[in-house]
Chain A
Amino acid sequence: MNDKMRRTFVVVTGVLAVIGILFMNASSDVGGYEVGDYATDFELKNVNGDMVSLADYADAKGFIVVFTCNTCPYAKMYEKRIIDLDKKYKSEGFPVIAINPNDVTQQPGDSMDEMKARSASKGYGFPYLRDDEQKITAAYGATKTPHVFVLNKEASSKYKVEYIGAIDDSPRDASDVSEAYVAKAVDALLNGTKPEVTGKRAIGCMIKWRQS
């Protein structure tokens, strides 16, 4: 190998390495948040017409952010338990914030009007927001409904992700739950400790992304 060839080789290798690093970074963005990351605040429209942000909750110690919807059977199975989580933990400083991420053109049952009707008839005690642009859904890395992110408010505007995944281990039968993952995670945070279990998968309905 002469000098010219060697130089070319070094340059080509360098360029390939840079391209490789760019690709790795691009793909790691797709995954959204992992436990330990800081979650972004948002400003999304509630069923009552108000805009809602995490920053509105000055006294909150954290949040149970649930990506959910009107239409997914698993979201419906968990609906009552989401209402109950909010009832139990709102007063302790961990309110539920529900976000509907589904594209309305593909899932008309998830329109703002349908959301209003459902939250009224089921008596939601928490905001039920629409992420029309799906930017927050993408930033969090939610993939399905229901999909929970438990956030611990460390300081003003510092929301650390402490748990991601399922509400508990028994979707169909609330009386058969042996591990209430979200409740346990919030209990731990209220006690000033870290959740033992920081992520559990569960079946859910794929989020209906806008087709661009």
Chain B
Amino acid sequence: MRHVMTCALLLSFGLTQAQEVKVIKYPTLASEMDQFDGLTVVNFWATWCGPCIKELPYFEEANELDNVRVLLVSLDFPDEQEKVKRFVSKKGLDSEIMLLDEKDYDAYMSKVDPSWSGAIPATLMVESNGRKHFYEKAFEREQLFAQINKFIN
């Protein structure tokens, strides 16, 4: 009986922990970027993007660091929220997930960083002092942690 209870408890815990996928506009993202007193790491990805999926575990790991907040911003289409949710629960992602609902790519990409040509994966790191660092590339694990360590130490 105790086992059943434990299982039920774990299951309900698991369910309540299921990650939310908020559909947001760019201004919300912009304000989220400078709310954390530490390093905010914003990773732009999509469920269809192989190199993005490959590097997601590294960002999940980075999110465990005390002074790092990882935002995983999906660029899937806004009506694909359910697909993104399924992906997130399948992969068991813990970082905050947002789905960016903006059709004017040029406008928001130039705000994220003028050098962004539009390729994903892409990552923006925002230091607590507001200083930004943009990477239009896929990260290997060691590279990602080397960059992050530069900005949190």
CB <8 Å contact, B48 and A201: no
Complex Cα–Cα for A73 and B76 (A): 11
Additional 6 contacts, C-beta under 8 A, given A73-B48, A166-B118, A201-B116:
A165-B118, A169-B105, A172-B77, A204-B119, A204-B120, A206-B51
Count CB-based A-B contacts (< 8 Å): 53
CB <8 Å contact, A205 and B119: yes
Q: Would you give the shortest CB distance from A139 to chain B, in whole angstroms? A: 15
B142 interface residue per 8 A CB criterion: no
Q: In the complex, which residues of chain A have a beta carbon less than 8 angstroms from the beta carbon of B104?
A: 169
Sorted nearest first, the 5 A-B pairs with minimum C-beta distance are A144-B119, A201-B118, A206-B119, A143-B117, A201-B106
CB <8 Å contact, A203 and B75: yes
Q: In the complex, which residues of chain B have a beta carbon less than 8 angstroms from the beta carbon of A165?
A: 106, 117-118
B137 interface residue per 8 A CB criterion: yes
Complex Cα–Cα for A208 and B121 (A): 12
How many B residues touch the partner, as a band? 20 to 34
Q: In the complex, which residues of chain A have a beta carbon less than 8 angstroms from the beta carbon of B49?
A: 205
Q: Would you give the shortest CB distance from A155 to chain B, in whole angstroms? A: 29
B96 interface residue per 8 A CB criterion: no
Q: In the complex, which residues of chain B have a beta carbon less than 8 angstroms from the beta carbon of A207?
A: 119
A200 interface residue per 8 A CB criterion: yes
Complex Cα–Cα for A8 and B86 (A): 65
CB <8 Å contact, A202 and B106: yes
B110 interface residue per 8 A CB criterion: yes
CB <8 Å contact, A147 and B117: yes
Decide yes or no: A206 and B106 within 8 Å by CB, A73-B48, A143-B136, A201-B116 being known contacts: no
